[in-house]
Amino acid sequence: MKFIAIIPARYASTRFPAKPLAMLGGKRVIERVYEQVAGVLDDAVVATDDSRIYDAVKAFGGKVEMTSTAHRSGTDRCWEAYQKIGRDFDVVINVQGDEPFIQPSQLEALKSCFNDPNTDIATLVKPFATTDSIEALENPNSPKVVVDKDMHALYFSRSVIPYLRGVEKSEWLKKHTFYKHIGIYGFRAEVLKAVTSLPQSTLELSESLEQLRWIENGYKIGVGISDVETIGIDTPEDLARAEEFLKSINL
């Protein structure tokens, strides 16, 4: 199978404008993301809506496609970029442009999900540790995932799922393995085309989680497990933490 990473990178961001162009350890954030995936998959392309990001990617020797400013999601941007590339791949992996520490092991875990012919879409989870706090488990900004016996997602929620009836909350993490969602996706190419034309669904609107639209429409989401804790960059404060993390790993 042939895999391509498409990295959506918008200039406008409410919490952190121009985030892909921010400097991290002497390189732009988008360059670090690109470097992390380019050698692992068959190809990698940045999909942007801004000429400044386009020029920055070209400057470090990366591949980039200009896309519309009107897209509602990174998934839609990925599909436009994929069409413009003009070459066929079996799977498109949507790598967020603010994940400079994404690891090869995570990409390999995603790829392996497609060994199952029933998998239409793939994503990753990380098990919560027994030492995590109940506050971390209940954090609505950290969606949880329930999977079936074949490691297909049954549901994603900002609430804690499953609810452990008859067990004190302080014991939940010791009694059950809860999965934290990691927001990276792989799509079979024909599935990526199909999901971009789906209207928003009831569950998606309720939880503000795009992947619920796909489940509601019958798509099978394969789930890979990662033990890596990455640092996404949503705010300038996150960038400062990423700088410290970069120094600690000497990347």
CATH code of the domain in which 156 resides? 3.90.550.10
90 and 29 in one domain? Answer: yes
Please give the mean pLDDT across all residues of the chain: 94
User: Looking at the 3D structure of the chain, how many domains does it have?
Assistant: 2
Token representation of residue 237: 């404060």
54 inside domain: yes
The whole-number average pLDDT for the span 150-175 is: 97
128 and 109 in one domain? Answer: yes
176 and 82 in one domain? Answer: no
The residue segments making up the domain with residue 14 are 1-99
The whole-number average pLDDT for the span 203-231 is: 94
108 and 93 in one domain? Answer: no
DSSP result, 63-83: -EEE--TT-SSHHHHHHHHHH
202 inside domain: yes
The whole-number average pLDDT for the span 106-133 is: 97
Instruction: Please tell me the distance from the alpha carbon of residue 43 to that of residue 40, in angstroms, as a whole number.
Output: 8
149 inside domain: yes
Hey, which bits of 10-80 come out as E strands? Answer: 23-24, 27-28, 43-48, 64-66
Token representation of residue 202: 């009831």
Is the per-residue pLDDT at 215 higher than 80?
Answer: yes
At 251 the pLDDT is 54
Pick from 30, 98, 24, 82: nearest CA to 59: 30
Between the two ends of the chain, the Cα-to-Cα distance in Å is 30
CA 146 vs CA 154, 219, 222: distances in Å: 5, 15, 11
At 64 the pLDDT is 98
The whole-number average pLDDT for the span 152-176 is: 97
37 inside domain: yes
Is the per-residue pLDDT at 250 higher than 70?
Answer: no
90 inside domain: yes
pLDDT tens, residue by residue, 77-118 = 999 999 999 999 999 999 988 899 999 999 999 999 999 999
1 inside domain: yes
